Homo-oligomer: A and B are copies of this chain.
Amino acid sequence: MTSAADLAALAALLADETRAGICLALLDGRAWTASELAAHAGVAPSTATGHLHRLVEGGLLVQRRQGRHRYVQLADPSVAQLLEDLSARFEPRPVRTGGLRAATASAALRRGRTCYDHLAGRLGVAVTEAMIGRGLLDCGSGFALTPAGRSWLIDLIGWDPTQPRPGRRPLVRGCLDWTERREHLGGLVGAKLCELFLGNGWVVRIGSGRAVRLTAAGHAALRDQLGITLD
């Protein structure tokens, strides 16, 4: 019966709108400072401190102190996955008209963004579908990497996905895209690809949010590697 208490305690961490907002903000995979999060959530710094304490205590977040700052981020990809699974239960929200600024920001998000540590939006979906189309990824019943996909990854980033690896994070995983309403590629391979895109300057972050923009080099790389052109 005490597993009910565990479940309730875990759920209680997310059962407050402020804490939920904090966790969703952290879904961008980066570390935020306490005051950034306080401003984002619209509460006093002292309130945010309390919430961060609870979230760290509960194992959802980890913190790193650096000088007078306290950086905080999601503890682990499985937390991001959990948040996405929970969020996936909602209807798509009607588009709120929030003025021009909000509209362009949301258009940028739809075009391309990071979803914790992998690519999402039209960009993420396009990459995923190109991989399926070229036989690198199989989606018969859930995603699975093909042998061709394995060699492609070895050529591309010199990393063999079939070598033994620590942890139980799945190699590939479908993640429902909330703007495209289709699945894009998550899991360890998704993270590696995102790392590659950012590291090679194929995409760059727009401002401080989750949105990313495809660079000229990125367009070329997509054409060479996957034979696709966007926009």
Contact = CB atoms under 8 A, between A and B. Distances in A.
B11 A14 contact: yes
A105 interface: no
Q: How many copies are assembled?
A: 2
Contact of A141 (B1, B7, B141, B144): B144
B8 A15 contact: yes
Given A78-B89, A145-B140, A161-B141, A16 B8 contact: yes
Contacts of A161: 141
Interface in A1-25: 1-8, 10-21, 23-24
A143 interface: yes
A82 interface: yes
A128 to B, nearest CB: 15
Given A2-B93, A12-B15, A15-B12, A171 B141 contact: yes
B86 A7 contact: yes
A161 B59 CA distance: 39
A229 interface: no
A87 interface: yes
A170 interface: yes
A85 interface: yes
A158 B79 CA distance: 39
B10 A86 contact: yes
Interface of A: 1-8, 10-21, 23-24, 59, 78, 81-83, 85-87, 89-90, 93, 138, 140-145, 161-162, 170-173, 187
